[in-house]
């Protein structure tokens, strides 16, 4: 089964361009990972399951409307931002990270597959003062408390999509203490309710709405 076959078990209706873009990631990420380590070496062989499908779990929860503006905090090598930008070509994604060499991977892969809906910025989320977005997305970057502290000022109030504007983050493991310490009441989605692969047994998507 190819990488794209794995994705098509759960998602349908990809255009030929999207199929080509997703296929290209299977070559580009291993090549760039040899130069700049953005994915665990032991995980690179499971790129489509552990990283791309995991990133697209956000697309399984919410269908972003055209024109939605999203910031990916601590994007690393572009996950979840790049897979989501392929999936939602009419949605704008702003990818930020404090480590510039990781953004080289984002820029190069985005250019190689012709993504036009991604912008990149070398900064920390807490240093962004002049922009707001509909959603903050993040994948295994820091605690929920920190994510909300950094992300909340970047989120405009509203509900143009099926979920209210807010933070959407991907997390794993026992989250009880982390959620308690955050003082938040996120809506929690279990990813093993969506995907059959074993690796999703302890994986979750959390949504915190901007009040």
Say if residue 139 carries a ligand binding annotation. Answer: yes
Structural domain of 28: 3-209
> Tens-digit pLDDT profile for the chain (211 aa)?
788 999 999 999 999 999 999 999 999 999 999 998 888 887 888 999 999 999 999 999 999 999 999 999 999 999 999 999 999 999 999 999 999 999 999 999 999 999 999 999 999 998 998 899 999 999 977 899 999 999 999 999 999 999 999 999 999 999 999 999 999 999 999 999 999 999 999 999 999 999 7
Say if residue 167 carries a ligand binding annotation. Answer: no
Say if residue 74 carries a ligand binding annotation. Answer: yes
CATH of the domain at 144: 3.40.50.150
Spatial distance between the Cα atoms of 201 and 107, rounded to a whole number of angstroms: 32
Q: How many structural domains are present in the chain?
A: 1
Backbone φ and ψ for 115, nearest 5 degrees, come out as: -75, 125
Q: 3-state secondary structure string, 21-84? A: HHHHHHHHHHHHHHHCCCCCCCCHHHHHHHHHHHHHHHHHHCCCCCCCEEEEECCCCCCCHHHH
What pTM was computed for the model?
0.96
Say if residue 178 carries a ligand binding annotation. Answer: no
CB-CB contact of 116 with 84 (8 Å): no
């Amino acid at each position: 089964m190819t990488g794209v076959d794995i994705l098509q078990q759960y998602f349908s209706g990809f255009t030929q361009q999207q199929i080509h873009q997703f296929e290209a990631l299977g070559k580009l990420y291993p090549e760039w990972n040899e130069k700049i380590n953005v994915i665990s070496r032991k995980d690179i062989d499971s790129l489509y399951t552990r990283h791309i499908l995991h990133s697209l779990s956000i697309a399984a929860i919410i269908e972003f409307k055209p024109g939605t503006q999203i910031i990916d905090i601590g994007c690393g090598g572009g996950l979840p931002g790049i897979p989501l930008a392929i999936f939602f070509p009419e949605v704008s994604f702003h990818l930020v990270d404090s480590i510039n060499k990781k953004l080289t991977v984002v820029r190069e892969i985005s250019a190689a597959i012709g993504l036009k809906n991604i912008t990149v910025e070398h900064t920390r989320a807490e240093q962004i003062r002049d922009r707001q977005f509909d959603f903050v997305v993040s994948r295994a970057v820091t605690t929920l408390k920190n994510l909300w502290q950094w992300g909340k000022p970047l989120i405009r109030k509203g509900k143009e999509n099926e979920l209210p504007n807010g933070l959407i983050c991907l997390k794993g493991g026992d989250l009880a203490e982390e959620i308690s310490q955050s003082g938040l009441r996120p809506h929690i989605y279990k990813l093993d309710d969506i995907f059959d692969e074993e690796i999703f047994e302890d994986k979750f998507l959390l949504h915190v709405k901007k009040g």
